[in-house]
Amino acid sequence: MPELPEVRTVASILKNELINKKITDIKVLYPKIISKDSLSINLLINNKLKDIKTNGKYILFDYGKYILLSHLRMEGKYFIKDKDSSIEKHEHIIFIFDDNISLRYHDTRKFGKVELIKKEELGNNKRISKLALEPFDIDANELYQKIIKKKTSIKTILLDQTIINGLGNIYANEVLYDSEINPFKLGKDITLNEVKKIVSSAIKILNLAILNRGTTIRTYTATIGVTGNYQKYLKVHMKDKEKCPKCHNNIIKVKINGRSTYYCKVCQK
DNA sequence: ACCACCTCCTGATCGC
DNA sequence: TGCGATCAGGAGGTGG
């Protein structure tokens, strides 16, 4: 579900609401949400939330000595509620803070994961350490060197978080449209100029999406009552049978590596 | 080592 | 209307 803009939106809302609050209790209702590599989640009790950061699609809850890594995958959400309000279906972890506040991890499909680590382990964490730089920080020449080594399609490459960090299916589709690159084009055939276009398109699109609090097309809400607004800027994603804004041919939908891919055959060569 | 495929889940929608 | 099939903002694990 959430990609970089949605994750940043969620993190910013949670930070405003929860900063400097102390965890007093935690209830785990569906233990599989917790990674098997995680320290005991109960170590967080009595710790104060110092900061919330993001890295790509990960949310990092900084509790000083510990960091809670959270990945929302397809459907994960955080809701802030009064601690005594009833527990709804699909609320799997309840973090109770002082001031009567609770943070509820809600995940219909149960794909999301949380993992508690010691702060000093952040750099060698096997998931975080593998992540590439976000588009804002990435160097086009270095990205190009990685891309031309790949035999798979550029669409698949853009979804690889170890190559470029933060794009998911929506923004990968939009970036390739904006860059005028055919999603089937193989990594080895991509030019340096095309990589430069990918980076600048990604930065432009992600920044506008962040300003619009992400994209709501299915089930995404940043938290209770907060939805994204970037869907009104989408050019190709979910637009099959609609017209390409540039050339007015039909946008088509195909599958690439099992993921829905929308593009304009005329504009994206 | 790389890459395509399967898997983890639930619920909404599609198609016969 | 009924009901199985398919699909959905993701990525870890597996096996060729």
Domain extents for chain A? 4-124, 140-263
Protein CA at A152 to nucleotide C1' at B2, angstroms: 10
Class of domain A4-124: alpha beta
Cβ contact A18:A101 at 8 Å? yes
3-class state of residue A157 by DSSP: helix
**Per-residue confidence (pLDDT) for residue A178, from 0 to 100:** 98
**pTM summary value:** 0.96
Ranges of residues in chain A with a pLDDT under 70 are: 1, 219-220, 222, 225
Say whether A57 is catalytic.
yes
**Per-residue confidence (pLDDT) for residue A225, from 0 to 100:** 65
CA nearest A67: which of A122, A127, A124, A129? A122
Q: Which residues contact A154 (CB under 8 A, 6 or more apart)?
A: A147, A176, A181, A182, A183, A184, A185, A186, A187, A190, A198
CA nearest A67: which of A85, A92, A88, A50? A50
Enumerate the nucleotides of strand B whose atoms come under 7 Å of any protein CB: 2-11
Q: Is the CB of A241 under 7 A from strand B?
A: no
Say whether A2 is catalytic.
yes
The share of chain A scoring above pLDDT 70, in percent, equals: 98
Cβ contact A233:A195 at 8 Å? no
Q: Which of A73, A81, A110, A259 is catalytic?
A: A259
- Give CA angle at A58 (A202, A114), nearest 5°: 160
Protein CA at A219 to nucleotide C1' at C1, angstroms: 27
The C-alpha atoms of residue A195 and residue A198 are separated, in whole angstroms, by 5
CB-hemisphere CA count at 13 Å for A106? 18
**Per-residue confidence (pLDDT) for residue A219, from 0 to 100:** 67
**Per-residue confidence (pLDDT) for residue A220, from 0 to 100:** 66
Q: Is the CB of A152 under 7 A from strand C?
A: no
For A140-263, CATH gives: 1.10.8.50
Long-range contacts, stretch A35-39, CB < 8 angstroms, 24+ apart:
A35/A69, A35/A113, A35/A114, A35/A115, A37/A115, A37/A126, A38/A114, A38/A115, A38/A116, A38/A117, A39/A66, A39/A116, A39/A117, A39/A118
**Per-residue confidence (pLDDT) for residue A223, from 0 to 100:** 73
Joined tokens for residue A213: 């609090």
pLDDT tens across A104-129, in order?
999 999 999 999 999 999 999 999 99
pLDDT tens across A161-207, in order?
999 999 999 999 999 999 999 999 999 999 999 999 999 999 999 99
Q: Is the CB of A212 under 7 A from strand C?
A: no
Enumerate the nucleotides of strand C whose atoms come under 7 Å of any protein CB: 7-12
Q: Is the CB of A161 under 7 A from strand C?
A: yes
**Per-residue confidence (pLDDT) for residue A209, from 0 to 100:** 97
Protein CA at A145 to nucleotide C1' at B2, angstroms: 16
**Per-residue confidence (pLDDT) for residue A217, from 0 to 100:** 82
**Per-residue confidence (pLDDT) for residue A224, from 0 to 100:** 74
Closest nucleotide over all strands to A227 (CA to C1'): C9
- Taking C1' of B11 and every protein CA, the nearest residue is A108
**Per-residue confidence (pLDDT) for residue A1, from 0 to 100:** 65
The C-alpha atoms of residue A56 and residue A154 are separated, in whole angstroms, by 19
